[in-house]
Structure formats: structure tokens, C-alpha cells
Amino acid sequence: MRKNTFQKSGWKRSAIQILLFCMVLSCAFFTQSVTSNAASQKTKALKEYQRLLSQKKLKWNSRQKVRSSKLKFSLIYVDKDSVPELFIDGTAAGTGHVSGGYKLYTYRNGKLYDVGTYRDSFGYYKKTGVFVTKTYLHGEYQAYHKLAKGTDHIKLRSEKYYTTQCFDENGNTISKAAFKKQVKKLTRKKKVSVPVCYKNTAANRTKQLQKGK
């Protein structure tokens, strides 16, 4: 009787060990698959950025094209995935205040997204999905944006013209104190980063895009 009990106990231990081993293999396979997919997305994104920057002219908006050789660019990590965003500085290519000096692109699920064009100032909070822009026109206009699923969502904004007014994402007026509190929460108290840009030359594209891998 005791022998049968030991045999059953040993069988259960073996079954548990096999089950645990299978679970470990399954987790390892899943992790490898996710990592491989992320690497593939990153490689595809960099190829798209290379294609975009290699064009003779880049469509800046519905009415304007600019010489790509006059552009500057930077790879930055705005959202939390491992695929970088492409930031383009077009100020040297003749993009003025009205048409916006900067552009942001992102790549997700096999598609390149033109996130938006921004005027006078651009900063981002790494891996939070948040970036901040400023416009100067008879005052100072600041907006905190959230990059989500390839699109731009304005979460907070302020207008400084004689006095300062602050607004939430629904356009409701909020106090300066509430605005600062929401900014800290939105940016996770991280410091703002400014893109370090490089001239759009073949050598810089090769070097920077290769580094992005």
C-alpha cells in the first residue's frame, strides 16, 4: 500500500515538473516572439524614415513642399514602445511661423503617421507619450500633447496675453495651480527633452538611422 502511495506521489511530482517546464518554454517563446516583432517594427520604421528623408522634396502641408536637403532630423522616443519617432526641423528649409517649423512622424502597425506640424518650439518627455509645443503670436500659447495610436491629442493648454488662462482637454478653464498639478501628472514629473538634430545628408542618415537600430 505504501509503495503504491509513493508511486502515485512520484508520478504527480513528474507531472508537475513537466507542466512547469512547458510553461517556462511557452513564456520564453512568447517573449522571443514579442521581442522579434518589436525589432521588426523598428526596422520597418527606420526604412520608412530613410525613404521619407531621401526624397528630393518633402510635402510640408497641403500647399507647400520643401527641399529635403535643407532639413534637419532626429530620432526621439516619445511614446513607450521601442520604435522611435522621427522629428524634423524645417526652419532652414523656409518653413516659417505660419506653416510651422517642425514636424513629427511615428510608425505603428505597418503604417507611417504624420502626427502634426508645430510652430515655434518643441520638447518631449521621453517614453511618456507627451510632448509640449509653443507658439508666439501677440502672446505665448503653450500646449501639452499626448501621442496615442499615431494621432495627436491636446490634453492641456495655456494662453498668456496680458494675463494667463489655462484650459483642460475639454476646453474648460482651470486655475494655474490645477494646470501645474495636471502637467506634473501628465509628464510623470520628468524633465523636458529637446531633440538634437542633424543635417539631412546621406552620411547622417546612414549613421543616425543605423544607430537607431
User: For 26-40, 58-72, 102-116, which range has the lowest pLDDT when averaged over its residues?
Assistant: 26-40
pLDDT score recorded for residue 211: 73
Q: State the average pLDDT over residues 36-61.
A: 90
> Where is pLDDT greater, at 22 or 108?
108
Instruction: Look at residue 92 and tell me whether its pLDDT is greater than 90.
Output: yes
* Banded pLDDT at 27 (limits 50, 70, 90): very low
Integer Cα distance of 192 and 170 in angstroms = 24
Question: Is the separation of the CB atoms in 177 and 185 below 8 Å?
Answer: no
For residues 33-58, average pLDDT: 84
What sign does the dihedral 204-206-209-213 (CA atoms) show? negative
CA distance 53 to 103: 12
Q: Which of 71, 31, 36 is nearest to 54 (CA)?
A: 71
Contact by Cβ (8 Å): 131, 143: no
212 or 12, higher pLDDT: 212
pTM for the predicted model, two decimal places: 0.81
Rounded CA-CA distance 87/71 in Å is: 10
Rounded to an integer, the average pLDDT of 103-131 is 96
The predicted pLDDT at position 213 comes to 59
Percent of the chain whose predicted confidence (pLDDT) is above 70:
81
Phi-psi region of 185 (alpha: psi -120 to 50; beta: other; left: phi over 0): alpha
